[in-house]
Amino acid sequence: MIDEHEVRDRIVAAADALYYARGIHEVGMDAVRAASGISLKRIYSVFPSKADLVVAVLGERRHVWDRDLGRSLASADGARGRLLAIFDFLRTWFETDDFRGCFFINTYGESGATSEAVHAVVRQQKADFQALVERLALEAGGTEMLGRQLSLLAEGAQTSAAIAGDPSWADDGRAAAEALIDLAIGTVAAPASGSARTHA
Amino acid sequence: MIDEHEVRDRIVAAADALYYARGIHEVGMDAVRAASGISLKRIYSVFPSKADLVVAVLGERRHVWDRDLGRSLASADGARGRLLAIFDFLRTWFETDDFRGCFFINTYGESGATSEAVHAVVRQQKADFQALVERLALEAGGTEMLGRQLSLLAEGAQTSAAIAGDPSWADDGRAAAEALIDLAIGTVAAPASGSARTHA
DNA sequence: AACCGCAGAGAACGAGCGTTCTCAGATTCG
DNA sequence: CGAATCTGAGAACGCTCGTTCTCTGCGGTT
């Protein structure tokens, strides 16, 4: 167990599971030590502080999210299919036993206000996801705004499913996405409301 | 300052502001004491524990949300107008200086996992909002599903606007809502006389 | 005036946290 | 073989927090 890389992975994996299940501030470094089997001294030699470990966990979550979502998108046909596959991906995620909402959103609620480093990672993850959806929306023949609208649906589905404990919110998101996509790319005649904005 | 009721209000108001700005676990009882000007002894005579205070703050947030949203809806015309007014309401809220997302969602991320009482209040608030939107959707001539879809947009707008620090997500939500509503109730060419269902 | 009771201010307490230190045992190298 | 170095386990430290306790002084009643 001298392998620096594996030690790091085990610490992050243990912390990730604990943080996601209980919330970051509810999990002490000693719990990470117990779950990972790595001594405190070694943990601190890899991550100088808990904040560094938190950032590493967020990074790992990002990586896993990108990889898993990417796989789901890769097995879908066409840009429209990939957009809808996002919601299928969410649905299967929501159905997992330990689903407790989006780790990034939860972490923002917990420490976004006080830790700028954490807030930055969360903001970046959300921005990247939105950019991905916008790109797919353009590929599907829609506008950037369509992408933003679909992002909202995906975001809302995550918090709604988490709080209500009901995975079916992914289906509502999917249905709404389908309607918006078809409306935008002209499968259905669109009411030309366009930029009518009564606000401000 | 013997008025039990005013004392309670001042404690809750001080705690609410601090909790929302910094997160609950970042705010100690002593900070609530300093901000409210009420002694610790008195605070504990009204709220036997911090958890009780947290629940009271959540209740007050709920009350304020219901009242303010209700006012916005009351000044809108028709069910369709009231549905869209939700997003105008969100937009003005997002623009306030101290906006830091939905207190309920943030609180869920922070203590929903460990405190069942907190989780219950959060779940109830979201369920009630969803029920309201569903009711409006039915009044507008749409389905329950339309209501659920619009809920997702509102929910997503709150987290997206908070994390990105960008109030304009409310506008994307509004535009998507408009499209979904019109698609659902088929007003593409229908005149305003379609209000066979009247409710003034 | 004398007593009683209560309220305010904040010190005190026990627990838990992040972080550091100690120490015993293993390992390595001359 | 022996000495120097490293490592793991966990005790220890300093701090903060939620909660309780103590002490001091004021107000009301007779």
Closest-CA distance of chain A to residue B146, Å = 8
pLDDT digit string (tens) for A10-47?
999 999 999 999 999 999 999 999 999 999 999 999 99
Structural domains of chain A ordered from first start: 1-48 (1.10.10), 51-184 (1.10.357.10)
pLDDT at A112 over 90: no
Q: B93-97, B108-112, B174-178, B194-198: which has the minimum mean pLDDT?
A: B194-198
Q: Is A42 near strand D, with its CB below 7 A from some atom of it?
A: yes
pLDDT digit string (tens) for A70-85?
999 999 999 999 999 9
What mean pLDDT is reported for chain A? 91
Q: Residue A122: its chain B contacts at CB < 8 A?
A: 163
Question: Any idea which residue has 């707008």 for tokens?
Answer: B157
Burial category of A12 from C-beta neighbours within 10 Å (exposed 0-12, middle 13-18, buried 19 and up): buried
Residue A70's φ and ψ, nearest 5 degrees, are -60, -40
Could you tell me the distance in Å between the CA of residue B1 and the C1' of nucleotide D27? Answer: 15
The alpha carbon dihedral of B16, B20, B23, B27 has a sign of negative
Residue B192 gets which letter from DSSP?
A: G
Judge whether B126 and A164 are in contact, CB under 8 Å: yes
3-state DSSP assignment of residue B2: coil
Torsion of Cα atoms, A71 then A72 then A76 then A78, to 10°: -80
Q: Residue A111: its chain B contacts at CB < 8 A?
A: 23
Closest-CA distance of chain A to residue B148, Å = 7
Give the pLDDT confidence score for residue A200 in this predicted structure.
Answer: 42
Q: Got the DSSP string for B56-111?
A: HHHHHHHHHHHHHHHHHHHTS-HHHHHHHHHHHHHHHHHTSTT--S-HHHHHIIII
Q: What is the largest CA-CA distance in chain B?
A: 65
Tell me the helix, strand and coil percentages in chain A, rounded to 5: 75, 0, 25
Q: Look up residue B1 and give its two tokens.
A: 């300052």
Mean pLDDT, range B94-113, rounded to an integer:
92
Q: Is B39 near strand C, with its CB below 7 A from some atom of it?
A: yes
3-state DSSP assignment of residue B46: helix
Distance CA B140, CA B10 (A): 41
> Roughly what angle, to the nearest 10 degrees, separates helices B144-164 and B116-139?
130
Residue B19 CA to its chain's centroid (Å)? 15
Mean pLDDT, range A151-157, rounded to an integer:
98
pLDDT at A196 over 70: no
